[in-house]
């Protein structure tokens, strides 16, 4: 059955099973359930019209970020340096585990994210390094 990853997330477990989760309901789940889904790979699409309000870091896995449309600059803190990766129209980046990252939105954008979300940390984009 067809699904839209903007409205239905997919959680891929280590045993190879996939579970569909309504996207609007996902963020309303208890933190323990969100963390449990984060043990596997979560696939979700998001639309952005503004810069991300936070930096994020995934300690348990790399993140595959695929720009489907629009234009963004992904900012990655790597080895004490700020690395900017520009994506325009379409393209992808693999953000290594443990790397803080955020995005500047240059044009309304749609992005597909694949990551292990367990233990994800965030900090305000106004924090040092933003």
* 9-18: pLDDT as tens digits: 888 888 889 8
pLDDT at 117: 78
With a pLDDT cut of 70, the percent of the chain lying above it is 94
- CATH assignment of 8-124? 2.60.120.10
pLDDT at 75: 97
Closest CA to 37 of 49, 20, 24, 52: 20
pLDDT per residue as tens digits for the range 70-102: 999 999 999 999 999 999 999 999 999 999 999
Q: What is the reported pTM?
A: 0.85
Which pLDDT band, with edges at 50, 70 and 90, does 114 fall under?
Answer: very high
Say whether pLDDT at 111 is over 70: yes
Name 42's Cβ contacts closer than 8 Å, sequence gap at least 6.
Answer: 9, 10, 11, 12, 113, 114, 115, 116, 117
pLDDT per residue as tens digits for the range 30-44: 777 777 766 778 899
């Amino acid at each position: 059955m067809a699904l839209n990853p903007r409205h239905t997330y997919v959680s891929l477990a280590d045993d190879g099973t996939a579970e569909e989760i309504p996207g609007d309901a996902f963020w309303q789940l208890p933190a323990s359930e969100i963390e449990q889904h984060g043990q596997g790979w979560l696939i979700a699409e998001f639309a952005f019209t503004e810069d991300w309000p936070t930096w994020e870091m995934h300690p348990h896995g790399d993140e595959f970020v695929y720009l489907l449309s629009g234009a963004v600059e992904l900012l990655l803190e790597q080895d004490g340096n700020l690395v900017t990766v520009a994506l325009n129209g379409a393209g992808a980046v693999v953000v290594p585990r443990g790397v803080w990252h955020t995005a500047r939105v240059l044009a309304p954008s749609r992005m597909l994210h694949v990551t292990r979300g367990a233990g994800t940390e965030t900090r305000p984009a106004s924090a040092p390094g933003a």
